[in-house]
Structure 1
């Protein structure tokens, strides 16, 4: 995977599935050779101020960001907002979704055990600091539970298995994502409202990892751009080279911003590393960031 000096998609402890503090991420980016970065936590902007201060101290260019869960035509999406202000009202998104996630966590436990397990609430509480149980946490708890060492359902997530590269998040995608057996519905804002919100706070709206969220529905992308979406994360650690190139060519044809991001989280995605996002032309993206006034 190509390593880039730009990484505009990573998560801190302010995301339920992030492992590192904003300051730690900045230092890790510095060590990895990343010179332009953004922390895009799920529905929170709490990392931006802390990260920006640390980035300035280390000579790294920091772009304030957020990743917002939203929906369009029945499809759950992630939209990145770059260059947003630090208005704390943006954190109301996180507060609303966290309340819903708390309410759904016990339902997730019930659905997980219906797969043939007997996980206890205490096992999830040991992994969660706020009572929200994510699909990644269920994967971690089950894979660490000695009772299920040889469980057939878990074999593909263990070392050497077909889903072992990022076992916890792969377990999430396989069982807790939209349309999967343990999915619990959360009310997310619409794509239209999300774009409007990002614009209201001075930001630019960019669709995250479309190869992941638009599988089989790439035709929706043009509609989203018509609604005001201004960019696409065409280079992502989730994408194949073919998917990267498809959205790269699409972005150029539509004359919109294209970005790159690893979507680094830490332990939930151990095969993903900072700066590794499949981008073969980071200096081209750097120039675009200047054109869009996201960096000087």
Structure 2
């Protein structure tokens, strides 16, 4: 277990389970002493989490995870030590939320066209402000269509059953998959500029999920002002971690460590559960050195 976890989500993300206060209490229970709440396109949880963290005697770094795109590839950009009150974050959240509300019905339609059966009303019951995610559809489908061979990998004992809901999302609803619904995200350049304008450090989240060890693409991303890589991620295999550590060194990027904890949609992921080889203090210093002065 690691005392550093710089990627977690509260219920201010559309797919997070716990309140900001509960999240900080879970950090204490799991031995996390320095955390960063990085909700999807939202900074609304930051001040609440920091207030509770201070009362508990731990550190909560202000953070965010912005959806963005570069060279046609959807990316997630983390921002650390941001000013959560910067108006650009509220504007970005509102834009994405409105698009996500419209995309929900299309996701339901595409999933059913693939032969995945579930009651639309059950997926809508889990929706936050009308946003239906792939994970919500997975939860409804796995309960109501247990014999469907398409869902066998996500059932207990299946190859994708460790985190069935989010794995279902990556396999069916992420970019390039059959139920993907495009959302118009800001560019990587705009995301980097927003994080930097808010006084933060832009770090590429779980690159193994989006960059797929494409060194040329990664170098181009770094050239756009990204200052760090989340090389230590719950998504990464040991081989991927080694690759991104090497790339970070070659590109002079700081390295981050995060579990991407959400709660029930990722049941096998624990706060502080992403090991970073005992390098917590070193990683934190490297990231702090990137804070705009």
Mark yes or no: TM-score above 0.5. yes
Q: Secondary structure at the match of 1:192?
A: helix
Between the aligned partners of 2:176 and 2:287, the Cα distance in structure 1 is 36
Match of 2:187 in 1: 190
Match of 2:160 in 1: 163
Q: CA contact under 8 A between 1:260 and 1:279: conserved in structure 2?
A: yes
Between the aligned partners of 2:203 and 2:260, the Cα distance in structure 1 is 14
Unaligned segments of structure 1, at least 5 residues: none
- Shift in alpha-carbon separation, 1:292–1:61, aligned structure 2, 3 A: farther
- RMSD over aligned CA atoms reads 1.3
Between the aligned partners of 1:159 and 1:72, the Cα distance in structure 2 is 36
Shift of 1:252: 2.1
Matched, 1:268 2:262: no
Shift of 1:198: 0.8
Between the aligned partners of 1:290 and 1:124, the Cα distance in structure 2 is 41
Q: CA contact under 8 A between 1:234 and 1:260: conserved in structure 2?
A: yes
Match of 2:255 in 1: 258
Matched, 1:201 2:164: no
Match of 1:144 in 2: 143
Between the aligned partners of 1:120 and 1:81, the Cα distance in structure 2 is 37
TM-score, L = length of structure 1: 0.95
Q: CA contact under 8 A between 1:78 and 1:207: conserved in structure 2?
A: yes
Q: CA contact under 8 A between 1:109 and 1:119: conserved in structure 2?
A: no
Cα distance per residue 1:90-117 (max 9 Å; x no partner): 1211111110011111111111110113
Shift of 1:236: 0.3
Match of 1:78 in 2: 76
Shift of 1:216: 4.9
Q: Which moved more, 1:253-262 or 1:151-160?
A: 253-262
Shift of 1:118: 4.0
Between the aligned partners of 1:171 and 1:158, the Cα distance in structure 2 is 11
Matched, 1:130 2:123: no
Q: Which moved more, 1:242-251 or 1:71-80?
A: 242-251
Matched, 1:224 2:233: no
Between the aligned partners of 2:45 and 2:162, the Cα distance in structure 1 is 27
Q: CA contact under 8 A between 1:241 and 1:278: conserved in structure 2?
A: no
Unaligned segments of structure 2, at least 5 residues: none
TM-score, L = length of structure 2: 0.96
Q: CA contact under 8 A between 2:199 and 2:291: conserved in structure 1?
A: no
Between the aligned partners of 2:286 and 2:174, the Cα distance in structure 1 is 33
Q: Secondary structure at the match of 2:232?
A: strand
Q: Secondary structure at the match of 1:107?
A: helix
Match of 2:46 in 1: 48
Matched, 1:178 2:185: no
Cα distance per residue 1:44-69 (max 9 Å; x no partner): 00010000101111111111000000
- Shift in alpha-carbon separation, 1:258–1:240, aligned structure 2, 3 A: same
Q: Secondary structure at the match of 1:219?
A: helix
Match of 1:17 in 2: 15
